[in-house]
Amino acid sequence: MISKKMEELGKKPSAIREIFEYSNKRKKEIGAQNVFDFSLGNPNIPAPAEVNETIIKLINERESIDLHGYTSGPGDLNTRTVIANNIKKRFNFEVDFTNIYMTCGAAASLEISLKALCNRGDEVIVLAPYFPEYKVFIENADAKAIEVKCRENDLGIDVSAVKKAITDKTKAIIVNSPNNPSGVVFSKNDIKDLISVLNQYSNRDSGPIYFICDEPYREIVYGNIEVTYVPNLYNETIVCYSYSKSLSLPGERIGYIMVSPLCKNSSDIFAAVCGAGRASGYVCAPSLMQYVVSKCDGLLPDIKKYADNRNLIYNSLTEIGFDVIRPDGAFYLFMKSPIKDAKEFCETAKKFELLLVPSDSFGIEGYVRIAYCVSYEQIEKSIPAFKLLYKEYYK
């Protein structure tokens, strides 16, 4: 008998996967240029040239046996040191390599961190709308996801709702800012208010509530928006970082965990991270990519294309009359469905070849996610289709 739990997970249809398959079918039928697929969060800006140049340089300069060999379990010491120094420089936060664990991207960072922190029956708060894999990782750590809805009007953090959801079993809260799927960057005030609630639990017998920052979109923000660096404000913090979106390297699987040295038992938590990484088979993140990110230290993406896309889609949909949440970061826009049933709305959108993701996949009803990491031309071409979609509901 194999694991029923895993079999079910493997067979469970993912809404985004289904749209992806529908999109491929439609593209074959009517031509790719006539399908407006806004379903996938795959960066469409290429990785900076420096990344490829660094890969070539490393291949030419280093012995293959050394370049492609194992690093230590938590990662290459030099890479971890470079990352710690980068954090010091950028955020004025004191940390060294002993607190950095290299991972296969944010997914692995989250999976490892949750496994390191949680015991059977613990609860982890997630703010809806949220990245659907959180539930999978939390349940895999034998814990339970507790959903707390964001504020209705702006999808900021509803701190009083979080407070109500806290129990003796609350082990952690996952906060993702800039947010997938809403594109919202949580304000410093929201973060501070949340922290003042978490601080009330810092001396519990069952231990503090950990703040898990899921930050694959940290660098993708528009205008003068600040993404609060939580370790500067709250001691019990673990940062799950990834280069997937910031350097457009989602297939290379590279990121890191930073366990704040200010956590009460930071070195024990780091040991638990090493243990969880080991137990999950997540030791030694891809070596070549570890060297690449250390050589490309400080490299930031050119997000002008995303910014142009954001302005075009936000302004166009607002002009048409749709109710949208203004995205300050990531490459997603959240739009209110004119009817309660967002799935039905997405089915209607398909009539106009618009492929959108219903918010039910992200833990709340009544919205759709539009991933605008597509070509500017696709957005331009899709606007008449959005107009027709609007007319279906508001004649």
Report, in Å, the least distance between residue 332 CB and ligand PLP.
9
Q: Report the helix count and the strand count for the chain, using DSSP H and E.
A: 14, 13
Which residue, 249 or 313, has its beta carbon nearer to ligand PLP?
A: 249
Q: Exposed, middle or buried: residue 204 (CB in 10 Å: 0-12, 13-18, 19+)?
A: exposed
Bond into 178 cis (ω within 30): yes
**Residue 299 · residue 86 · CB < 8 Å:** no
Q: Tell me the C-alpha distance between 210 and 361, whole Å.
A: 25
Query: What minimum distance in Å lies between the beta carbon of 90 and ligand PLP?
Result: 19
According to DSSP, residue 178 is labeled S
Spatial CB neighbours of 158, under 8 Å, sequence gap ≥ 6: 148, 149, 150, 151
Q: Which stretch binds ligand PLP (CB under 6 A): 105-113, 302-310, 313-321, 374-382?
A: 105-113
Q: Of the listed pieces 26-34, 102-110, 223-231, 278-286, which binds ligand PLP according to CB under 6 A?
A: 102-110
Residues of span 37-66 touching ligand PLP by CB under 6 A? 41
C-beta separation of 141 from 180 below 8 A? no
Q: What's the CA gap between 395 and 393, in Å, rounded?
A: 6
The single residue listed with the structure tokens 């891809």 is 286
Q: How far is the CB of 131 from ligand PLP (least distance, A)?
A: 4
Output 123 or 214, the one with its CB closest to ligand PLP. Answer: 214
- Is the bond preceding 327 in cis, omega lying within 30 degrees of 0? no
By CB under 6 A, is residue 180 in contact with ligand PLP?
yes
Residue number with CB closer to ligand PLP (45 or 389): 45
Site for ligand PLP in 191-250 (CB under 6 A): 214, 216, 242, 244, 250
Closest residue to bound ligand PLP by CB: 105
Chain residues 243-272 in contact with ligand PLP, contact rule CB under 6 A: 244, 250, 255
Residue (176 or 235) nearer to ligand PLP, CB? 176
Positions that interact with ligand PLP (CB under 6 A):
41, 105-107, 131, 176, 180, 214, 216, 242, 244, 250, 255
